[in-house]
Amino acid sequence: MPYLRLMRINQWIKNLFVFIPLIFSLNLFDLLMLEKSLLGFVCFCLMSSGVYIFNDIKDLEHDKLHPRKRHRPIASGQITLGNANVLMAILISVSLYLAIRFTPEAFTIVLFAYLANNVLYTFWVKHMVILDVMSLALGFFLRVYSGAVIINVEASDWLLIFTALLTLFLGFGKRRSELELTGDTAEYRTVLQYYSVKFIDQMIGIVTAGLILAYMLYTLSAETVQHFGTKQLILTVPFVLYGVFRYLYLIYIKFEGEDPTKVVYQDKPILITVLLWLITVIIIIYRGVPS
């Protein structure tokens, strides 16, 4: 259905980052906390869909020239600009209404910040080398942070750092795949003319080392051990290592990575690794928690 594709329902998986603080604060099975996190997830799903439509409207002419994006509902003419604008306004308005009416003020502020970041990205930042990827990473950082404020818990600094590094890793991988697909031409994405494969490879190398180190330090930190009452979280490191290495394989050997969400959906080793990591984390940190 064109309208569901316009809303990018498949991209809602990104909003699952909202649940990270719920899981790691040991509140996953607290129904009230879970209800609050679900509301935050809904708000971000509606808002992110509105933002995607806004971006598609702004980039209509460029999308028509892109080998893949020209098939999107607006670029292909399946949905008119007028209808797209109406749907965008409804989604963003409902998201903000739910946030203002039913969530803490801090969550609403974070949601506004997410919207502002995307507006700035669409008009200016997407054309700025390095900052474009950092803006994408900020979107995920805000998702995690919002997940903490909506249930009124303090997000771990290490988890926030890991999230930022992980999304920088995915972002630079996305840019590298775009370069491989289209070359350093401004015809499809203006900022690509300022990148080179060699430069992006250096960025990926730095960020990859940082995110692996950050996760290891998180599992070993005294604060983490005290919070969960166990040192066994280190056992989840192999899943993270394999997931990162598998993604690098997909970028460098399979020349995939232009759409990280699609990779998660379609690459079975990545999907299985993420699920095994999540299951292992929950078993380890909740094993000693009273039911």
Banded model confidence at residue 158, pLDDT cuts 50, 70, 90? confident
Q: For residues 45 and 156, what is the distance between their CA atoms, to the nearest angstrom?
A: 24
Residue tagged 């040192």 (tokens)? 231
**What pLDDT is attached to residue 72?**
86
Question: Which residue has better confidence, 206 or 62?
Answer: 206
Residue 129 pLDDT greater than 80, yes or no = yes
Residue tagged 């799903």 (tokens)? 45
Q: For residues 80 and 85, what is the distance between their CA atoms, to the nearest angstrom?
A: 9
pTM: 0.92
**Tokens of residue 25, six digits:** 């604060």
Question: Which residue has better confidence, 158 or 246?
Answer: 246
Q: Residues 210-219: what's their mean pLDDT?
A: 94
Overall size of the chain counted in residues = 291
Residue 291 pLDDT greater than 80, yes or no = no
Residue 289 pLDDT greater than 80, yes or no = no
Residue 71 pLDDT greater than 90, yes or no = no
Contact 98, 39 (CB under 8 A): yes
Task: Report the chain's mean pLDDT, rounded to a whole number.
Answer: 91
